[in-house]
């Protein structure tokens, strides 16, 4: 039989078909647009996302020789994908990286509400999380809330289109309203944020739910009605699964639109620093630190330097020595500030130490070093000491960046053999959900393959130990200016 797995990212929808051995047999991609109708806003047309999903699935279904007997979906997380009582969108999706509610999150942080919520849900507050977006909508678009009957995420939206059912996969539901220990919505969290009114919008929480493909969806996708459809965990989780990070203490870093450093944990850490997010998994938890700025920083730097793409950036950075000639880069370029490994909606980037002695090669080096030091910062925040780091995402194609990650973290770095790691993780989840594999770990052991490790260079590792301490010191000093910079933006 064939299995089709959909990975609905923020800017690209992918569908991958796997044959009866688990080998990839077909792949299709469609781009999706992110609109920014006002400063800080990030939205998507929900119908356009569904159309892209249908088109990619139709394409791969037509390309495989075996009958398709299983479909799985993973997608971007967080945000607000609101639908009415008929399951139709009440407006555009508000995405995970939307910044319109930054002032609300800042107030929650200053008032101690965010820290209090962390002791229950294990996740820091961020402007793209549902509670922040819903609060903004209640103040600025109450009519839309009145027309909405359910709050979904991207994965829940696609799954509802496929099956006609509404649900929140356990990973999506983990933040911000879940009691992680009880694995259920917590009324005290709704009360804490004064959001009892939002309870009616929360769909049932289910772990790896499975339902049959409706006739209408089957016709749109070119598949047989009744085919089982699995809602896999959202993308940062399935990417860890696709990289084989399934055992306690295993670590993974996603080099994508977000830099997400994550580690598998036995229990939620609810008493530590209120940063990062904690996601419920079957049999455990994923402690994750998804940043607001990742490979977009690479793209921004390429535009700044007039480069053709990331490969040219890596080549240019390689011409500079470690430390970039004393140039330091704080890569907090998102209008939403930063959420991991610290939470500050006012955070902004900086290029420090610049002089006439620096050229494009030092700027390129500093940009990659800044992003990589963030990975080490997030890894330190996990409180674990992994033996290696699995990496994936678009940035993992850069040999320069992989070597830099190994040197900065001091860990062997390994890439999965699959190019579409999120889809592979959805495949692993689908096998476990349907009983085709006894567990996630068993499915990953059979179907995840890794490339050879990139080892850290001892001398460079020692240099980066000092540069990491310098990076933290510079950030602490620069952070004092962030409130003033926010005032300046407000006067612009």
The CA–CA distances, whole Å, from 358 to 302, 303, 310, 355, 472 equal: 17, 18, 20, 6, 22
Q: What is the pLDDT of residues 407-430, one digit of tens each?
A: 999 999 999 999 899 999 999 999
Categorize the per-residue pLDDT at 370 as very low, low, confident or very high, splitting at 50, 70 and 90. Answer: very high
pLDDT of the residue at 205: 98
Contacts of 400 (CB under 8 A, 6+ apart): 314, 315, 317, 318, 368
pLDDT of the residue at 91: 98
Mean pLDDT throughout 143-147?
Answer: 98
Is the predicted pLDDT of residue 281 greater than 80, yes or no? yes
pLDDT mean across residues, the chain? 95
Mean pLDDT throughout 298-317?
Answer: 96
Question: Which stretches does DSSP call E strand in 76-143?
Answer: 81-83, 93-94
pLDDT of the residue at 271: 85
Q: What is the DSSP track for 408-420?
A: HH-S-EE-BS-S-
SS3 465: helix
pLDDT of the residue at 207: 96
Mean pLDDT throughout 461-465?
Answer: 93
User: Residue 104 and residue 412: Cα distance in Å, rounded?
Assistant: 40
pLDDT of the residue at 1: 87
Mean pLDDT throughout 101-121?
Answer: 94
SS3 289: strand
pLDDT of the residue at 71: 98
Q: What angle do CA 471, 286, 168 make, to 5 degrees?
A: 125
User: Residue 378 and residue 260: Cα distance in Å, rounded?
Assistant: 8
CB 151 within 8 A of CB 134: yes
The pTM is what? 0.89
Look up residue 367 and give its two tokens: 């940009």
DSSP character for 452?
P
Report which secondary-structure segment, H or E, holds 68: strand 68-75
128: closest CA among 336, 348, 395, 371?
336
CB 140 within 8 A of CB 101: no
Mean pLDDT throughout 238-254?
Answer: 94
Report which secondary-structure segment, H or E, holds 161: helix 154-163
Is the predicted pLDDT of residue 293 greater than 90, yes or no? no
Mean pLDDT throughout 132-149?
Answer: 98
User: Residue 482 and residue 194: Cα distance in Å, rounded?
Assistant: 28
Categorize the per-residue pLDDT at 225 as very low, low, confident or very high, splitting at 50, 70 and 90. Answer: very high
pLDDT of the residue at 456: 96
Q: What is the pLDDT of residues 3-50, one digit of tens each?
A: 999 999 999 999 999 999 999 999 999 999 999 999 999 999 999 999
pLDDT of the residue at 343: 85
pLDDT of the residue at 5: 98
Mean pLDDT throughout 92-107?
Answer: 94
Report which secondary-structure segment, H or E, holds 429: helix 421-434
Q: What is the pLDDT of residues 378-409, one digit of tens each?
A: 999 998 899 999 999 889 989 999 999 999 99
User: Residue 367 and residue 345: Cα distance in Å, rounded?
Assistant: 21
Mean pLDDT throughout 154-169?
Answer: 98
pLDDT of the residue at 283: 86
Is the predicted pLDDT of residue 368 greater than 90, yes or no? yes
Name the one residue in this structure whose structure tokens are 């049999």: 283
pLDDT of the residue at 321: 95
The CA–CA distances, whole Å, from 448 to 223, 241, 250, 291, 393 equal: 27, 9, 14, 26, 15
End-to-end CA distance of the chain: 59
User: Residue 133 and residue 310: Cα distance in Å, rounded?
Assistant: 33
Cross-strand partners of 401: none
Is the predicted pLDDT of residue 492 greater than 80, yes or no? no
Mean pLDDT throughout 254-278?
Answer: 90
């Amino acid at each position: 039989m064939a299995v089709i797995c959909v990975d609905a990212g923020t800017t690209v929808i992918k569908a991958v078909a796997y044959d009866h051995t688990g080998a990839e047999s077909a792949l299709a991609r469609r781009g999706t647009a992110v609109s920014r109708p006002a400063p800080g806003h990030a939205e998507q047309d929900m119908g356009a996302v569904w159309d892209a999903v249908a088109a990619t699935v139709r394409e791969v279904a037509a390309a495989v020789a075996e009958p398709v007997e299983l479909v799985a979906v993973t997608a971007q997380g967080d945000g607000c994908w609101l639908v009415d009582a008929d399951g139709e969108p009440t407006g555009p999706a508000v995405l995970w990286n939307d910044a319109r509610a930054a002032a609300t999150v800042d107030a929650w942080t200053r008032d101690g509400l965010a820290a209090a919520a962390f002791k229950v849900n294990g996740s820091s507050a961020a402007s793209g999380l549902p509670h922040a977006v819903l609060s903004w909508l209640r103040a600025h678009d109450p009519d839309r809330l009145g027309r909405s009957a359910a709050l979904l995420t991207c994965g829940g939206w696609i799954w509802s289109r496929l099956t006609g059912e509404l649900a929140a996969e356990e990973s999506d539901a983990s933040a911000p309203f879940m009691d992680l220990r009880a694995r259920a919505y917590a009324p005290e969290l709704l009360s804490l944020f004064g959001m009892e009114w939002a309870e009616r919008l929360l769909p049932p929480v289910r772990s790896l739910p499975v339902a049959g493909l409706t006739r209408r969806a089957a016709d749109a996708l070119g598949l047989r009605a009744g085919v089982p459809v699995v809602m896999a965990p959202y993308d940062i989780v399935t990417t860890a699964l696709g990289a084989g990070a399934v055992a306690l203490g295993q670590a993974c870093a996603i080099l994508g639109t977000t830099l997400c450093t994550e580690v598998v944990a036995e229990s939620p850490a609810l008493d530590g620093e209120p940063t990062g997010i904690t996601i419920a998994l079957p049999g455990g938890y994923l402690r994750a630190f998804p940043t607001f700025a990742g490979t977009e920083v690479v793209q921004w730097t390429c535009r700044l330097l007039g480069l053709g793409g990331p490969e040219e950036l890596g080549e240019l950075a390689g011409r500079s020595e470690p430390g970039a000639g004393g140039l330091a880069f704080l890569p907090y370029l998102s209008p939403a500030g930063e959420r991991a490994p610290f939470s500050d909606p006012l955070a902004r980037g900086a290029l420090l130490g610049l002089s006439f002695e620096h050229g494009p090669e030092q700027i390129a080096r500093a940009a990659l070093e800044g992003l990589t030091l963030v990975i080490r910062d997030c890894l330190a925040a996990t409180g674990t000491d992994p033996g290696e780091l699995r990496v994936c995402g678009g940035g993992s194609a850069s040999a320069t960046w992989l070597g830099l990650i190994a040197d900065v973290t001091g860990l062997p770095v390994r890439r999965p053999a699959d190019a579409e790691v999120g889809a592979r993780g959805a495949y692993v989840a689908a096998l476990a959900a349907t009983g085709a594999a006894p567990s996630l770990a068993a499915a990953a052991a059979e179907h995840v393959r890794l490339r050879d490790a990139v080892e850290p260079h001892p001398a460079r590792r020692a240099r980066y130990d000092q540069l990491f301490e310098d990076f933290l010191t510079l950030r602490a000093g620069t952070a004092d200016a962030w409130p003033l910079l926010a005032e300046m933006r407000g006067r612009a």
